[in-house]
Chains A and B, each alone.
Chain A
Amino acid sequence: MLKKIAVPIVATLIFLGLWELLVWANGWPNYIMASPSDLPAAYSKFWNLFLIMGWQTLWRTVVGLLIAIAVGVAIGMIMGFSRTMRDALYPLLVGFNAIPKATVVPIVALLFVGAHDFNTILIAFMISFFPIAVSVSIGLSTLEPEYRDILRSLGASQATIFWKIALPKTLPEFFGALKVAVTLAFIGTNLMEIVSPHGRGLGALFDSGKTNSDYPLMFAVLIALAFLGIVLYYVVVALEKVFAGWAERQPS
């Protein structure tokens, strides 16, 4: 257990050490690349902004992610159960996903100008629902027919088969996709926060760091984002352990 916590912490410390070394060895000033030793000053100076804006980023990302889960699972179910719908929706979804969301951000920002929360959540949702939809549809459509037959031969309804077999069997794939979606949702949130004028959240803090040439602040924001991403990722891991822990094989 101790080892489980110690290993990632040591790895992080080694990473920070190498970063510090890189900046020091090249003699870079902090407007080219800030070093880890510049960060504590930035955090202590703006700690209240980090708390407020970090919270704004976090809750909007989570709401966007929740909507992505609801919509992604619904689309995944439709595609998983109907071949026709799968054939119809796949090219649309792939095409939609191929559009760089950075190009959609200004469009959305203009469409719903001033609606910061709505815009941000919308982009976070748009960028993260795709892997969820695909994984759920694949999980459902690759269900071995014998699984269905076992219950169907007893007279079980389609709904019963879904709740007792198809849904739990898809959970490992779903959580795999959710881990990808979590980090994607952060990207979506921040794209909007940076681009949108008078934005909110850590993205806006990053933008103001840029405006004021406060380079250590910009790096501090990046690290704060990474930290939020890690926290949310491990929340998903914890949920996965609870709901799909059975899929993890015991090391033998």
Chain B
Amino acid sequence: MNKPLIDIKSVLHAYQTADGPLPVLNGLDVAVPEGGFVAVVGPSGCGKSTLTRLVAGLMKPDEGEVWLHGERVKGPRSTVGMAFQNPVLLEWRSILKNVMLPLEIVPTKLSKAAQEERARKLLALVGLEGFEDKRPSELSGGMRQRASLCRALIHQPEVLILDEPFGALDAFTREDLWQTMHALKAEEPFTGVLITHDLRESIFLADQVIVLSGRPAKTQYVMDIPTDGQRVLDDLYTPEAAERLNILRHQIEIAQGRAAPDGEAA
């Protein structure tokens, strides 16, 4: 078996609060193979965002290890791209310059012209052709999130970390963006970790869904979603999809403590 590109091994992490340490992650295991796309779901406040910060090297786990591409993560690294629920575009820059921001930080061999060409190509891929010179404030929420995805991918990161990127969008825009994600993945291969609250989103986008338990979170349940060619939105309305959603919903209820684990009396 291939060595996983992202490997999180029995990670334990606690926040220091006034009332003593508050453990958020305890015994978390996540392994993502190269090119894989893992969705992490779980109850609110279970430490999902902490997980993204650990992978990005913005935080160090108290115990356990985080490995990226065979190297232990000790700090931030330029091979990571991030997008959040808040698109955090810089209002004083055009969309094009916003997308090109990471190239000002990460060493790149591309010439200025090639950088711009790459940014334009990405923007066209997500349907933002013609908006390159607009300011973020002139775009809708969905369009801003598209631009934010382009920025996360401009420096060809090995790992794309998405922390509820579509959480603040309306249902239709969200479904549009799911399809955009598939288009991006086909053109710009990456290994992805998606944090989400939306179970339909998780089974539509990911090839593996991981359910975290309530705080302190550990890996509670893993579901593999077979990747059989192009996914279309209609796939979400098949009996198989309904069954997967049911299983996941049940697992979330267990994580929330509202349902007993399997095998025990409910």
Query: Which residues of A are in contact with B by a Cβ distance under 8 Å?
Result: 144, 146-147, 149-156, 160, 164-165, 168-169, 171, 244, 246-247, 249-250
With A153-B76, A154-B155, A155-B78 as given contacts, are A144 and B86 in contact (CB-CB < 8 Å)? yes
* B58 interfacial contact with A, CB 8 Å: yes
Q: Is the CB of A152 within 8 A of B92?
A: no
Nearest CB of A to B15, in Å: 14
Q: B135 — which chain A residues lie within 8 A by C-beta?
A: 246
Q: Is the CB of B76 within 8 A of A155?
A: yes
A176 to B153 alpha-carbon distance, docked (Å): 36
Q: Is the CB of B138 within 8 A of A155?
A: no
Nearest CB of B to A176, in Å: 15
Q: A246 — which chain B residues lie within 8 A by C-beta?
A: 91-92, 135, 137
Nearest CB of A to B102, in Å: 6
Q: Is the CB of B82 within 8 A of A153?
A: yes
Nearest CB of A to B139, in Å: 12
With A149-B56, A149-B58, A250-B138 as given contacts, are A154 and B92 in contact (CB-CB < 8 Å)? no
Mark contacts of B87-102 with chain A using CB atoms, 8 A cut-off: 1 yes-contact digit, 0 otherwise: 0101110000000011
Max chain A Cβ within 10 angstroms of own Cβ: one of B75, B84, B92, B101: B92
Given B88, B102, B138, which contacts A154 in the complex, CB threshold below 8 Å? B102
Q: B104 — which chain A residues lie within 8 A by C-beta?
A: 164
Task: Determine the residue in chain B with the shortest Cβ distance to A147.
Answer: B88
Nearest CB of B to A240, in Å: 12
Given A150, A164, A171, A247, which contacts B82 in the complex, CB threshold below 8 Å? A150
* B46 interfacial contact with A, CB 8 Å: no
A153 to B82 alpha-carbon distance, docked (Å): 8
Nearest CB of A to B90, in Å: 7
With A152-B58, A154-B155 as given contacts, are A146 and B105 in contact (CB-CB < 8 Å)? no
- Interface residue ranges of B22-58 to A (CB < 8 Å): 53, 56-58
With A144-B86, A149-B58 as given contacts, are A160 and B91 in contact (CB-CB < 8 Å)? no
Number of A-B contacts (CB under 8 A): 60
Nearest CB of A to B88, in Å: 4
* B11 interfacial contact with A, CB 8 Å: no
Q: A165 — which chain B residues lie within 8 A by C-beta?
A: 90
Interface residues of chain A: helix, strand, loop or mixed (majority): helix
Q: A169 — which chain B residues lie within 8 A by C-beta?
A: 90-92
Interface residues of chain B: helix, strand, loop or mixed (majority): loop
Query: Which residues of B are in contact with A by a Cβ distance under 8 Å?
Result: 53, 56-58, 75-78, 80, 82, 84, 86, 88, 90-92, 101-102, 104-106, 135, 137-138, 151, 155, 161
Q: A152 — which chain B residues lie within 8 A by C-beta?
A: 58, 76
19 additional A-B pairs beyond A149-B84, A155-B75, A247-B91, beta carbons within 8 Å, are: A144-B88, A146-B84, A147-B88, A149-B58, A151-B101, A153-B57, A153-B76, A154-B80, A154-B102, A155-B105, A160-B105, A164-B101, A164-B104, A169-B90, A169-B91, A246-B137, A247-B92, A249-B137, A250-B138
Q: B161 — which chain A residues lie within 8 A by C-beta?
A: 153
Nearest CB of B to A246, in Å: 4
A183 to B78 alpha-carbon distance, docked (Å): 47
| 8 A-B pairs with least C-beta separation | A246-B92, A153-B56, A154-B105, A146-B88, A155-B76, A156-B105, A146-B84, A154-B78
Nearest CB of A to B143, in Å: 16
Q: Is the CB of B105 within 8 A of A151?
A: yes
A152 to B105 alpha-carbon distance, docked (Å): 10
Q: Is the CB of A153 within 8 A of B88?
A: no
Q: A249 — which chain B residues lie within 8 A by C-beta?
A: 137
Max chain B Cβ within 10 angstroms of own Cβ: one of A147, A149, A151, A171: A149
Task: Determine the residue in chain B with the shortest Cβ distance to A156.
Answer: B105
Nearest CB of A to B91, in Å: 5
25 A-B residue pairings within 8 Å (CB atoms)? A146-B84, A146-B86, A149-B56, A149-B58, A149-B82, A150-B101, A151-B105, A152-B58, A153-B58, A153-B76, A153-B80, A154-B102, A154-B105, A154-B155, A155-B75, A155-B76, A155-B77, A155-B78, A160-B105, A164-B90, A164-B104, A168-B92, A169-B91, A169-B92, A244-B92
